[in-house]
Amino acid sequence: MKTSATAFLVLLAACQPLTPKVDSQPATQETGSYRGPSVCVPPSSKLSSDSSDFRQHYQAALSSNPVDSALSSLSPPAHFTQVIPAVFSGAQPKTQTHWQSLEQLGVRTIVSVDGARPNHERAQAVGLRYIHIPIGYDGIDDEQARALVDVFRASKGPWYFHCHHGKHRGPAAAAVATLLLADVLGWRAEAPRVVGSTRYQLKDAEDFMLRVGTSQDYAGLWRDLRDLDFDAIWQLPKAKLTAQAEVGDLATAMAELDRVYDRLKDIRKAGWVAPVNQPDLSPRQEARIMREGLENCAEAAKDEAEYGEQTDYQEWLNQGLVAARQLEKGLDAADVAKEMLDAQLRGVRQSCLDCHAVYRND
C-alpha cells in the first residue's frame, strides 16, 4: 500500500515538539490512550542534536516531491519504487529518459550502492548529486548503514537509491536507510495513532523489499535489516560521504561482467545480432569482453587470500572461461547454430550462479 505524502506531513507535524532527547532517556512504548499530538516517542538511542538536520531535510524533500501526479507520465529506471514519500529505489539509470524522469520527479540526490563507477557526467548534466556507498550481496554492515542514513542528514532530497538491476541491493539499502530515518524521527515506536498518520517499522521495510522482489537468496541483506543495531549505528561517527568510493579490483571486474552479461542477453534475444535499439553492439566484441572480464576476475582473485587458494572457486572461473571462449569462437564461425550459442551463454551464466551461491550471496 502506498503511503501518501499527506499522511507523512501529518505525522511530521504531530512530532514537531520533539526535541532531541538526552542519552539517559530510554525508548518508551506508548501502550494505551493517545495523549495528544505533542507526544512522540523518542528514538531508540543516543541521538546527537543532528536529528533536526534529518527532520529539516526530510520535510524540505516532501515539499519538492510531485511524485503522485508526475509518475504516470514519466519513464524512470526499471523497478522504480517509492519506499516512503521522497525516498525511492530502483535500477541504475541508463537512458536519457531515465535521467530526465528522475530530475522531473524532483530527485536531488542519487545514491549508488553498486560496485561500478557512478555516471557522474550524466548526473551532473541534470543537476543531481551522486553519493557512492558500495555494498555487497552478503549484507550491510554498521558503517555502511550509518553512511546510508547519513545521506538524509547531509544531502537534499528527494533521494533515489540504486544498484545495477534495482531489485536486491538497492532496495535493501533504501530499506535500511529508511528504517534508520524512521528511528531518528521517532516513527518507529508504537506511537500514538493520530488519525491519518503512519508509523514505519521493520515490517514496513520488509514488505517493501518483498514487493520489489528482493530475493531470499540474499540472506545477509534480509538479516542485516532485521537485526539492525540502532544503538551501535548511532554511536558511530557521522559518515564521510563521497561521490566515488574505493572499490576492490574483484568487485569492479564483477560489476563489469554483469553489464556485459546483460548486453549478451539482449543480443541473444535478438537472435545473436545487434538488438534494434542498440545497433552499435557487436556480438563478437561483447563475447570477447566477457572472456577478458572473466580473465580479469581470475587475475583479481589471485590477490585475495579468501579466494586464491580455493579449488572450487578456480574451477568455476575456468568453467565460465571455457564457455566464454566457445561463445567467442562460435560467433567467429560463419554458420554456427544459434542453439549452440544459447547453450554457451547458459554455460557462462551457470558459472556465475554456482560461484555466487558459495562465495558471494550470504
Binding site for ligand HEC (CB under 6 A): 114-115, 134, 136, 248, 250-251, 254-255, 257-258, 261, 313, 316-317, 320, 348, 351-352, 355-356, 359-360
| Smallest separation, CB 137 to ligand HEC (Å) | 6
Residue with cell 542519552: 23
Return the number of the residue (62 or 345) whose C-beta is nearest ligand HEC: 345
> Quick check: 343 and 308 in contact, CB under 8 A?
no
294: which 3 cell numbers? 572473466
> Quick check: 79 and 91 in contact, CB under 8 A?
yes
| Smallest separation, CB 141 to ligand HEC (Å) | 12
Return the number of the residue (84 or 289) whose C-beta is nearest ligand HEC: 289
* Cα dihedral: 343, 137, 199, 39 (round 10): -170
Return the number of the residue (180 or 254) whose C-beta is nearest ligand HEC: 254
Beta bridge partners of residue 111, listed in sequence order: 131, 161
| Smallest separation, CB 223 to ligand HEC (Å) | 17
225: which 3 cell numbers? 535489516
Return the number of the residue (100 or 319) whose C-beta is nearest ligand HEC: 319
Burial of 104 (0-12, 13-18, 19+ CB in 10 A): middle
| Smallest separation, CB 146 to ligand HEC (Å) | 19
| Smallest separation, CB 285 to ligand HEC (Å) | 16
Return the number of the residue (151 or 348) whose C-beta is nearest ligand HEC: 348
Q: What is the DSSP letter of 47?
A: -
Q: What is the chain's Cα-based Rg?
A: 23
| Smallest separation, CB 327 to ligand HEC (Å) | 11
Burial of 38 (0-12, 13-18, 19+ CB in 10 A): exposed
Return the number of the residue (134 or 283) whose C-beta is nearest ligand HEC: 134
